[in-house]
Amino acid sequence: MPSIYEQIGGEKAVDLAVEEFYRRVLTDERIARFFDDIDMDKQMAKQKAFLTMVLGGSNQYTGLDMRKGHAHLLAQGLNDSHVDAVVENLGETLKSLNVPIELVNQVTALASSLRNDILSR
Ligand code: HEM
């Protein structure tokens, strides 16, 4: 079986998806504030590498693990509702790019499975 990374369309698809995903996140009033002081070019590069890795593409991710990468956001009130919103934005992004629904569901399930690390529990 080809990896999810290959099935959604490889590097081009991931690049497009990450750009569209953050466009949505930054205009989503439930979660935009967490990104106020973030360098979004760097963030997008990290997210592209991270998604590539977890979807079964190459492993070039050199960023923090999910627990360390989000620990400081707990002090800003990060909770389950914010994870839900991020997962929802990811799903809507992939649907808007015509990724088949079975694949969308696999990717959102994977993102959701990181919840306990992201919320340090
Ligand atoms: C649900 C799955 C999620 C994934 C796969 C994910 C992925 C990532 C990755 C790969 C990084 C880079 C870590 C590093 O700095 O080395 C990161 C950082 C970050 N994430 Fe997430 N994240 C998720 C959920 C969330 C949620 C729910 C929020 C807030 C609404 C959020 C906000 C942020 C912010 C603000 C940063 C940058 C932190 C900084 O540079 O100070 N993330 N995330």
CA 105 to ligand 1 center in whole angstroms: 20
For residue 84, the model assigns a pLDDT of 98
Res 3: pLDDT: 97
Atom of ligand 1 nearest to the CA of 50: 10
Q: 34 C-alpha vs ligand 1 centroid, how far in Å?
A: 9
Q: What is the pLDDT, as a whole number, of residue 24?
A: 98
Q: From the CA of 43, how far away is ligand 1's center (Å)?
A: 8
Q: 3-class SS at 4? A: helix
The dotted CATH code for 4-118 is 1.10.490.10
Task: Please give the angle made by the CA atoms of 31, 104 and 52, to the nearest 5 degrees.
Answer: 80
User: Which atom of ligand 1 is found nearest the CA of 87?
Assistant: 1
- Sequence-distant (≥ 6) Cβ neighbours of residue 5 within 8 angstroms: 14, 52, 55, 56, 57
In the chain, where are the structural domains located?
4-118
* Per-residue pLDDT tens listing for the chain (121 residues): 899 999 999 999 999 999 999 999 999 999 999 999 999 999 999 999 999 999 999 999 999 999 999 999 999 999 999 999 999 999 999 999 999 999 999 999 999 999 999 999 9
